Structure 1
């Protein structure tokens, strides 16, 4: 269904779970629009921001990056995080700059928190408190993550249901916000629903109807990553000596499993199985996020004419 907009679009957003075909669709849209001012792509991916993390993130190739201008890729060293607030700041500035060049910004990716922050707004959230953070890590070491997750579920079931049980970083952050404010972190991540999402950035969502189709693509892509030297890429990152397994960069799906595989000397089959399983779980969470965005325009990514439908829908949305 086409959602009426009070403002002309300032950008177009393209989202979907991992391995749903976002990169191919984005490049096809860009090719279609090259004679109508052109497209510049803004990456909405919390892993693509990191330099030296190419294989495990399925980063666009050098040819793809050269063919269409891309932004917010390779802008951070893996030692440093990139927050949702920083993404919104940079993306909003890029939308303005690209627009002044007479081009259309195309926001593409699968980091749903970034999309939600840009399209629905960010509320003020307390900064990290070193004392509270240290106390939580002591409890984590003494009691285990399961105990902290159970505590989070008791005080903020909405956030607990959204997070993976093994997501140490986000579980401890949610508990930290609770202890600092007495409010669930979900209350800070939601603005007044009456405002609605931004009407000037329509969202196309690539959502496969057959989960088996997506699972097959996830497995194929993980195998391709392993064949391309993904484990060697992680070994090189570890060899730097300054990276840790608890950093946001190294907790990206795939990298976390590869790091653990190297720590525990897993056979390649175990890394493959756990990496594919974790990627499937990520895709499931991404689809859940998308289904909570009611104004999105859904394209069945596993249908034969999905690419043509995506291009036609982009034209419809941008020319409304």
Structure 2
């Protein structure tokens, strides 16, 4: 196994099938263990850091061994890029394991194209290392529309301090203990209430301005297959689902869009005084969000302690509109690298 990994850093050779199989088994075992560690919330940061650093280091030999195996099969190393395409990567790896050759583990002349591929792979390893300072989050529900859509894969900055009003944060839900996303609208020591949907902060109203109409397609969204709520009545599958949009701006924030579906009880609340060391959060999809307006005893969020905040979301990396990211025809290319405001 050690010899296989070391040889993977030299992309000019070839790799016999047995050695390639051994390397893939090792990578598979590490992937299973690593995924378990990264998904556990009680794992200390140093445990996550070990997994991330090892994953970054192993990326280069994994690609290198695949290129060497392609050489062994008398194929171009350019086929390696299929390993980054979901579905096709498994087909390629299986084919490389099934192909029988009589290679002598010889040398393959170096090329400029291979050098470029090595540098790009090294860059990919560096990107993996940056995972030490950011946290990924996939939106499973529509409580933050239109800022975040179901299926948005967003990145949040870890170790962010001085969380301010307007920040979109990830925090631990007090009831489910799962990651939850909402926007900070009030800080510790402030008072807040809603009247007819208008935020009254420290006894000062901040009415939102009309911001057009938010339209999406009536279809099942995310892995849960939930359906969006519409303000234009009951619409059939594939039809436009509309909601009124407004521009809200609170002290110290830039304007951001919120949605209104209908008049309902959550549009009018009691007055809350946010305890020190806590924040009051709401979803931008105001009529379809479980947030600080509902106390935790009623399975809501209540006041969010600062220590429960895990990250501040800053950018959408990837987005899909279907029920699985493998449905490439539902990918929203227009949302890639979109800044979260």
Q: TM over 0.5: same fold?
A: no
Higher RCO structure (Cα 8 Å, ≥6 apart): 1
When normalised by structure 2's length, the TM-score is 0.22
Q: Which has the larger radius of gyration?
A: 2
Instruction: State the TM-score, normalizing by the size of structure 1.
Output: 0.23
Give the number of the structure whose residues are more often strand, by fraction. 2
